[in-house]
Structure 1
Amino acid sequence: MQQQRRKLKGFTLIELMIVVAIVGILAAFAIPAYQNYTNKTHASEMLNASSAMKAAVGVCLLSGSTDCRSATANNGVPASQTFDKATDDKFAVVSNVQVTAASGATNINGKIVATVDATAGKAGLAKGGTVELIPELTPSGVTWTIGCTNIGSDEYCPKS
C-alpha cells in the first residue's frame, strides 16, 4: 500500500501579501478622495444653513427695500442664526456654523456670511473660514453669487 499524499488547501504567504498590497494601494487613493468629498459636503452644508437667511433677504429685496438689515429696522431678516453642536443617540451630528447678516450688510451691496467656528473648526475646513452669499436684484428676481474666504481649498467652495 502506497501512502497517498494529501493535498493541502489554503493560501500561500505570497498570495496573502499580494492581496494586502492591493488593498493598501486602493486605500491610498480612496482616503484622500473621501476627505475631499467630506470637506465639499461640509462647505455645502454651510450654504444650506444660510437658506433661511437667503429667503428672508430675498423677500425683503423683492418687496422694494434696499436695506434689509440696518440699525433701525431689520425688515424680517434676523441678525444671525447659530447652529450649535447637537448629538443624537444614533449618530453624532456636529454643526459649527454661524450665519450672519450684519447690520447694514444685507442690502443690495451687502452679503450673507456663513462662518466655520474659529476654535473647533469643521472637519478639514479651515477654522474661521467663510462662505459668502451676495444678492443681486435682477428683473427675474434675486440671484446669488457665492464666494469663499479661507475655507481651505478653492475646490471646497460650493458652486450653487
Structure 2
Amino acid sequence: MKSVQKGFTLIELMIVVAIIGILAAVALPAYQDYTKKAKIASALTAADSLKTAVALCSQELGTVTGCSTGTNGIPTNANFTATKEVASVGTADGVITMTLASGLGTNLNGKTITYTPTLGTTALTWAASTNISATDEPAVTAAILKNNK
C-alpha cells in the first residue's frame, strides 16, 4: 500500500516563515511612517482655530501686523489646551508657531511648525515651515509641507 503524506514538511514551513518575515520587514517601516503622519495631521489641525482668529484680525486691521497672542482677539497660550501632539502655540504678527509634544517620536520632540500668513486682496494664504529635518523624518516633513504653493 502507498502511504499518503499528511501535513507539511519542515522545509515548507521554513519557507512560509521566511516569506512572512520578509513581508513584516517591508511593512513595519511603512506602518511607522503612517502613524507619524497621522499624528502630525492631528497636530496641524490644532492651529486651525488660530488661523481663523488671525484671519479675522487681519480683516479688521487690514494687516497681519498686530495680530499677536493676547491682542485683537488672538487667544493666549493659557486658552490653548495642550494635546498629545502639540505642547504649546504662539502668535506674533500673524505668524503661528506650534511646539510639538514629546509623544510623536524621538526626532520630533520639541520641534516647531510655523505658519506664515500672506495677506492677499481677497484671501489670507498660509505657508508652513518646520525645523524638522527632512533627512531624519522625510514622511513627516512631506506631510507638513505638502500644501505649500
Q: Is 1:78 the counterpart of 2:75 in the alignment?
A: yes
User: Which residue pairs with 2:119 in the alignment?
Assistant: 137
Listed as ranges, the matches of 1:1-160 within 5 Å are 4-65=1-62, 66-69=65-68, 74-80=71-77, 81-84=80-83, 95-102=84-91, 105=92, 107=93, 110-117=94-101, 120-123=102-105, 125-150=107-132, 152-157=136-141, 158=144, 159-160=146-147
Contact 1:113 1:131 in 2 (8 A): yes
Structure 1 residue ranges without an equivalent (≥5) = 85-94
Q: Which has the larger helix fraction?
A: 2
Contact 2:43 2:85 in 1 (8 A): no
Query: Structure 1 length normalisation: TM-score?
Result: 0.76
Corresponding pairs, count? 138
Structure 2 residue ranges without an equivalent (≥5) = none
* Partner Cα separation in structure 2 for residue 112 and residue 79 of structure 1: 12
Deviations 1:106-136 (A, max 9, x none): x2xx51112112xx34235521011111111
1:8 deviates by 2.8
Query: Structure 2 length normalisation: TM-score?
Result: 0.81
Q: Percent identity?
A: 38
Letter in 2 for 1:112: I
1:56 deviates by 0.7
Letter in 1 for 2:68: R
User: Which residue pairs with 1:89 in the alignment?
Assistant: none
Letter in 2 for 1:55: T
Contact 1:39 1:124 in 2 (8 A): no
Letter in 2 for 1:27: A
- Residues 136 and 99 of structure 1, relative CA distance in 2, 3 Å threshold: farther
The DSSP-based 3-state class of the residue aligned with 1:136 is strand
* Partner Cα separation in structure 1 for residue 87 and residue 17 of structure 2: 44
